[in-house]
């Protein structure tokens, strides 16, 4: 059964722009799916609809066994990592990672355990008491991921998470993301315009062009569209 199912999903913005048309995608539990395509093809819109940050104008979106078209973002069991890491500068790494769990009023002991486990996975254990400004770009990126994985979501959504890193770090973090996703076995939807990134990371790659799905295939089976 698909963990995330997009059935005929479409988005037309209020100004009439058709950003995504009749998108059908079944994302299996534990799968790493990459949405790739040039700027403006509708990747971010599609991801934001899954996250609940953008209203769906047609079709049906299912996460787990729930239809979530009308479910607000905070009630969807998904976690998103943004391009700009959006960390709280005045909070320590520990509190940045814990923030979402504190909002959900989880028991303190469980929060501590989950934050420390996430920090361990991400290699942040020694940095838990530091502030974001004292971290490198790669470390900030890890904290942003820590905030998402600590929630143990049904799906992990990433929008160009490596685009603010230099080329060397990007390659390093790409391998890291791959490892973490496999370790956690978390269903992942990852947006990028970078074809190499898509081919390296994806179990399957979905190619979008002008809001329309062109093909979905394992990287080795992808062919170029004219």
Residue ranges binding ligand ADP (CB under 6 A):
13, 15, 17, 19, 37, 39-45
Q: How far apart are CA 153 and CA 65, in angstroms?
A: 14
Buried b / exposed e over 72-103, threshold 16 CB at 10 Å, is: eeeebebbbbeeebebeeeebbbebbbbbbee
Give 3 or 45: the residue with its C-beta nearer to ligand ADP. 45
* DSSP label of 146: H
CB of 129 to ligand ADP, least distance (A): 33
| Cα torsion 151, 42, 139, 202: sign | positive
Q: Report the nearest approach of ligand ADP to the CB of residue 23 (Å).
A: 12
Q: CB-wise, 35 or 118, nearer to ligand ADP?
A: 35
If the CB atoms of residues 15 and 65 are measured against ligand ADP, the closer one turns out to be 15
Nearest to 11 by CA among 39, 53, 64: 53
Rounded to a whole number of angstroms, the minimum distance from the CB of residue 17 to ligand ADP is 4
Nearer to ligand ADP, 11 or 151 (CB): 11
Question: What span, in angstroms and rounded, lies between the C-alpha atoms of 11 and 169?
Answer: 34
Does residue 43 contact residue 35 with C-beta atoms inside 8 Å? yes
| Residue placing its CB nearer to ligand ADP in the complex, 43 or 204 | 43
Locate 147 and state its tokens. Answer: 């905030």
Distance in Å, CB of 212 to ligand ADP, minimum = 12
Coil, helix or strand at residue 59: strand
Q: How far is the CB of 118 from ligand ADP (least distance, A)?
A: 26
């Amino acid at each position: 059964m698909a963990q995330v199912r997009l059935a005929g999903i479409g988005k037309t913005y209020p100004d009439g722009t058709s950003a995504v048309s009749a998108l059908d995608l079944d994302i299996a539990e534990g799968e790493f799916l990459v949405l790739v395509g040039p700027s403006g093809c509708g990747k971010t819109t599609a991801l934001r609809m899954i996250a609940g940050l953008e209203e769906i104008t047609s079709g049906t979106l299912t996460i787990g066994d729930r239809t979530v078209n009308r479910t607000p973002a905070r009630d969807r069991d998904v976690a998103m990592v943004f391009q700009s890491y959006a960390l709280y500068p005045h909070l320590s790494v520990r509190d940045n990672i814990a923030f979402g769990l504190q909002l959900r009023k989880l028991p303190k002991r469980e929060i501590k355990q989950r934050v420390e486990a996430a920090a361990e996975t991400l290699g942040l254990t020694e940095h838990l008491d530091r502030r974001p400004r004292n971290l490198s770009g790669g470390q900030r990126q890890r904290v942003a991921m820590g905030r998402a994985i600590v929630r143990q979501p049904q799906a992990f959504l990433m929008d160009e998470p490596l685009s603010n890193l230099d080329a060397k770090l990007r390659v390093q973090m790409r391998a890291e993301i791959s490892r973490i996703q496999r370790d956690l076995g978390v269903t992942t939807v990852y947006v990028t315009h970078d074809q190499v990134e898509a081919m390296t990371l994806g179990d399957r790659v979905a190619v979008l062009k002008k809001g329309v799905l062109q093909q979905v295939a394992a990287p080795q089976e992808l062919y170029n569209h004219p």
